[in-house]
Structure 1
Amino acid sequence: MTNKTKTRAFAAALLAGTALASAASAQNVNFWYHFDNADNPMSDLVEKFEAENPGITVTAENVPWNSYYDQLYTSIVAGTAPDAALVKLNALPRLIEMEALEPLDARLEGWEGLEEIQDNLLNLTAAADGTHYYLPVQYVVLYLYYRTDMFEELGLTPPATCDDFREAAKALTRDTDGDGRIDTYGFGFRGGKGGHDHWGSLVLSREGVGFGAGELTSDAGVAGTQFVLDLFQEDAVFPPSAPNDGFKEVIGAFQGGTTAMTIHHIGSSAGMVEALGDNVSAVPVPECGGGRWTSFGDESTAIFANAQDKEAAWKWISFLSSPENNAAFNVATGQLPVTKTDSANWTVHEQRFVDATIDSLPFAHLLPNVSETADFANTVWPVAMQRALIGELSAAEMNAEIDALYND
């Protein structure tokens, strides 16, 4: 081999080695999330992050909500989980049980953005033993939406109690065009997945009713679920589609005038105002059985234990929970920012919806922070609720199934 040939071979080997080293040091973050919103900010956020963090590539995959957790749990079992993902608090116990999550406490202690996170959010999203696996990225509190034009037409005031709620719903369920068919129903009930928050506001508010042994099967617990069933089966104030209705159906019916009330959060307010203008407002959910209960809704991010580059994953999720980036995320999603700076400058939502959120905070609650809650939210509640609404289960039988999940 000539000297020239040796030189060329050496150069080729050097270039190949450099390429291999570069590939080995490449930092990649596979991130899963779920957005129903047409205005999706993720591409812009990824572009900004990659510009600020040369060498890190983020692949953000939008997974449909209806199959999100099924796909997530399956990927964990298969060893193909993403490096990081958007997650809800009710999934935390199961993810811990699966040993799927990376603890964040050490990283949080050294993070300069820690002081920016709104007070109490890290407490609310911590695991039962106080360990932090989640980094908050947005939050909401559920309240009651109502059609101000319909209420004014009938001389009604927003319901403060369950009795008020029932009477208002009955008055608002009517044939408005005289063709003998109901055109507007009093309340849009979400009988499909995610509707446990509607049920909870009418049931879990009652004294002594919760998920402890015998609480749902008590007289008060059964009476709460029976109240929900009576609204559908006797009063007919829910649309006939209620047993199968999900988020899109419930919100669409309210915006289209098919229902006069529903329960959701500030994330829907922009669409509500766009569709209805001043004909929509919000108040806290009614007091039922002596108390009030509404759901604190979170969206956080987590790093998975199998992440190939946990430091790169941390840089990405902490980027999403930092000022300006968190605002961009929440401007598009329609929920509330978790940073103090972004919150202080927040003008995305109209004040009446912000007020309804704040007024609801004193009685906002979380579902039990145990592994059974994932089954409750994803399968046990929606299946039992649908069966109860169509008469296949009694209120007592439905509540007994939920009680058995948590306490047997």
Structure 2
Amino acid sequence: MTHSNKDTAPTAWAKTLKTLAMGLLASTAIASGAQAQEVNFWYHFDNADNPMSALVEKFEAENPGITVNAENVPWNSYYDQLYTSIVAGTGPDAALVKLNAQPRLIEMEALEPLDAWINGWGGKAEVQDNLFTLTAAADGSHYYLPVQYVVLYLYYRTDMFQELGLTPPTTCDEFRDAAKALTRDTDGDGHTDVYGFGFRGGKGGHDHWASLTLARDGVGFGKGELTSEAGVAGTQFVLDLFQKDKVFPPSAPNDGFKEIIGAFQGGQTAMTIHHIGSSAGMVEALGDKVSAVPVPECGGGHWTSFGDESTAVFSAAQDKEAAWKWISFLSSPINNAEFNKATGQLPVTKTDSANWDGHAARFVDATVASLPFAELLPNTSETADFANTVWPVAMQRALIGEISATEMNAEIDALYNK
């Protein structure tokens, strides 16, 4: 029995359609695969020496088929943009993140758990053990992979201290006396041109306030602790330094990182608080005219900030495995050293730490001496609001006299203890 052309035509057409469909599916799969192998990574570097391009190039050479798009987002708007992009569904696949953002990101269900990857990662044993403890979430899970860290200390101008016969302060009383002595009119024009301390009243300055306030016995973020007599006294101490002693520059309520570092390097301030990340620039500008010591003991204790920087993979990432490969690459020996040589912070790997020569010894010593009393802000969702809005707004208002120390501390207490 023979078949007519009428019978064979649909069969031929069906085969053609099948071939076209298979080709289209293959093209789609290739396109999807190519897209899935892209990792969009956000970070924020202030330093001009940016290692990211070289690290991306090295990673892509070691991981053919994965492309990393690294975007340097300005710090002042970093978290505003990050939160907004996550809500809009346009966020990165991975990003540089701080601990105070972790609770909010967990609440937003934006973070991918890393425990399975970390436990199966050959580089796990290389990461300093305490860093996994410090960066863990409240439930003990890990959503962050450490990539660098610092501890804040007190910078001081050795030349100015020597000129006045001063020694670095070890207590708040000594700090206040030194700041008053160092606040001077050095050119005789009747106007102060050197201030004792460069206070960061803008966003990010909560660590300055905390070092002079939270060190006091019984003062923290628990209910009633900041509104206690000791808590209010800590904030009042800060306000008095500005309003009565006038040892902060007039710009202090709005000063941020660049302002406090620029004033210190330029000789407008004699002390400030930051960390080893800025030490290379300090030495470049001042040589041996700058050194560092732990922050002073205030009201019975010490408090300084453990400064973290970690990476995270986001739950909406197109290719989570590729994103993990990228962030674990940044926390691996040699790569981590290169990353931190440029950023100016300390490496997280044991190998890189043992061979570290990225900072002058006096700044490393001040960091190590500060570790025993380094602290973290509360690992809760309120901390993001504290750092980004509540503290900077309240601090600025308090410094210019719009609210009192009691009112400022009450606002922070209300945030944490609703």
AA aligned opposite 1:362 = P
Distance 1:180 1:12 in 2: 86
Q: CA deviation at 1:36?
A: 0.9
Give the one of 22, 38, 49 matched to 1:28: 38
State how 1:207-246 maps to structure 2 within 5 Å. 207-246=217-256
> After the TM superposition, which parts of structure 1 deviate over 2 Å for at least 4 consecutive aligned residues?
8-22
State how 1:3-402 maps to structure 2 within 5 Å. 18-26=26-34, 27-402=37-412
Q: CA deviation at 1:76?
A: 1.1
Q: CA deviation at 1:133?
A: 0.1
Q: CA deviation at 1:24?
A: 2.1
TM-score by length of 2: 0.94
Q: CA deviation at 1:40?
A: 0.6
Alignment-derived partner of residue 5 in structure 1: none
SS in 2 for 1:59: strand
1:404 aligns with 2:414: yes
AA aligned opposite 1:219 = E
SS in 2 for 1:356: helix
Distance 1:20 1:397 in 2: 60
Q: CA deviation at 1:17?
A: 5.8
Q: CA deviation at 1:10?
A: 10
Q: CA deviation at 1:16?
A: 6.1
SS in 2 for 1:120: helix
SS in 2 for 1:298: strand
AA aligned opposite 1:24 = S
Q: CA deviation at 1:81?
A: 1.3
Distance 1:398 1:12 in 2: 69
Q: Which moved more, 1:229-238 or 1:15-24?
A: 15-24
Q: CA deviation at 1:22?
A: 2.3
SS in 2 for 1:346: coil
AA aligned opposite 1:370 = T
Deviation string 1:64-113 (CA, Å, 9 cap, x unpaired) is: 10000001111111111110000000000000111110000011110000
Q: CA deviation at 1:20?
A: 3.4
Distance 1:322 1:186 in 2: 41
Distance 1:181 1:10 in 2: 86
AA aligned opposite 1:315 = K
Deviation string 1:353-381 (CA, Å, 9 cap, x unpaired) is: 00000000000000000000000000000
Distance 2:364 2:148 in 1: 14
Q: Structure 1, unaligned stretches of length 5 or more?
A: 2-7
Distance 1:389 1:73 in 2: 29
TM-score by length of 1: 0.97
Q: CA deviation at 1:21?
A: 3.1
AA aligned opposite 2:107 = E
Deviation string 1:271-300 (CA, Å, 9 cap, x unpaired) is: 000000000000000000010000000000
AA aligned opposite 1:59 = N
Alignment-derived partner of residue 4 in structure 1: none
Distance 2:266 2:109 in 1: 45
Larger radius of gyration between Structure 1 and Structure 2: 2
Distance 1:15 1:48 in 2: 34
Distance 2:229 2:52 in 1: 48
